[in-house]
Amino acid sequence: MIVSTMNDIPGYEVTEVIGDVFGLTVMVRSGISSIEAGIKTFLGGEPQGLARELHDFRLQARERLIKAAAAKGANAILAVRYAANDLRDTGTEICAYGTAVKVRPL
């Protein structure tokens, strides 16, 4: 699966637009990363535990995006974007979305 943040892929032609697809996950912060983030708020610096969790959850959303596109018969996803929204005090929603397409080499 080709995944691109661009609207096209150099060297490829879009032969079919399948439609929008997304992958969604909800991150609930672990107690340790929350404590670390709180300490870093006062001392400064990057809360590495929280950064690692955000990275992993973004990858999970991306994998779900790819599975959704493959299930619709796509071999590429264009204009991929990520969005994150707080869910009150329960966690963070992370969404990867884009346009599922079929492409072929030129």
pLDDT digits (tens, 9 = 90+) for 4-39: 999 999 999 999 999 999 999 987 765 554 554 555
Whether the per-residue pLDDT at 69 is higher than 90: the answer is: yes
pTM of the shown model? 0.79
**What percentage of the chain reaches a pLDDT higher than 70?**
79
Query: What per-residue confidence (pLDDT) applies to 33?
Result: 47
Look over the chain and give the mean of its residue pLDDT values, rounded to a whole number: 85
Q: Name which of 26, 6, 8, 18 is nearest 83 in CA terms.
A: 26
